[in-house]
Homo-oligomer: A and B are copies of this chain.
Amino acid sequence: MLYHKIVEVREKIKQWKKEGLTVGLVPTMGALHNGHLSLIKKSVEKCDKTVVSVFVNPIQFCPGEDLDKYPRTLDADEKLCNDAGVDIVFSPSPVEMYPDAQMLSNDFLTYVIPPFFYTNKLCGKSRVGHFDGVCTVVNKLFNIVQPDFAFFGEKDRQQLIILKKMVKDLNIPVQIIPCPIVREENGLALSSRNKYLSEDDKVNALVLSKILFNIKSCYNEGMKDVKALTETAYSFLNDRHSLEYLEFRDADNLEEKTAADNNTIVFIALKIGNVRLIDNISLV
Residues of A within 8 A of B (CB): 6, 10, 17-18, 20, 106-117, 135-136, 139-140, 143-144, 146, 165-166, 169-173
- Interchain nearest-CB distance for A42 vs B (Å): 24
Q: How many copies does the complex hold?
A: 2
Q: State the CA gap A116–B103 with chains docked (Å).
A: 12
Contact B113 A106 (CB under 8 A): yes
Which listed residue (B110, B143, B166, B172) contacts A173, Cβ 8 A?
B143
Contact B110 A110 (CB under 8 A): no
A to B CB contacts below 8 Å, 9 in the list: A18-B20, A107-B115, A108-B117, A110-B112, A110-B166, A112-B112, A139-B170, A143-B171, A144-B173
Contact A107 B117 (CB under 8 A): yes
Q: State the CA gap A114–B165 with chains docked (Å).
A: 20
Residues of B within 8 A of A107 (CB): 115-117
Pairs A-B, 7 closest by C-beta atoms: A110-B169, A143-B171, A110-B166, A107-B116, A140-B171, A108-B115, A107-B117
Which listed residue (B20, B110, B143, B144) contacts A113, Cβ 8 A?
B110
Q: State the CA gap A140–B136 with chains docked (Å).
A: 15
Contact A143 B170 (CB under 8 A): yes
Q: State the CA gap A246–B108 with chains docked (Å).
A: 23
- Interchain nearest-CB distance for A159 vs B (Å): 13
Residues of B within 8 A of A117 (CB): 107-108
Contact B170 A112 (CB under 8 A): yes
Closest to A143 in B: B171
Closest to A116 in B: B107
- Interchain nearest-CB distance for A33 vs B (Å): 28
Q: State the CA gap A169–B136 with chains docked (Å).
A: 9
Q: State the CA gap A136–B171 with chains docked (Å).
A: 10
Interface centre among A110, A143, A144, by most chain B C-beta atoms within 10 angstroms, is A110
- Interchain nearest-CB distance for A132 vs B (Å): 9
Closest to A136 in B: B170
Which listed residue (B6, B18, B169) contacts A109, Cβ 8 A?
B169
Residues of B within 8 A of A169 (CB): 109-110, 140
Closest to A6 in B: B171
Q: A135-B110, A165-B110 are in contact. Are A144 and B116 (CB under 8 A)?
A: no
- Interchain nearest-CB distance for A141 vs B (Å): 8
Q: State the CA gap A111–B20 with chains docked (Å).
A: 32
Q: 13 extra interchain contacts, Cβ-Cβ under 8 A, other than A112-B170, A140-B170?
A: A10-B173, A17-B17, A107-B116, A108-B115, A110-B115, A110-B135, A110-B169, A111-B112, A111-B113, A113-B113, A139-B170, A140-B169, A144-B173
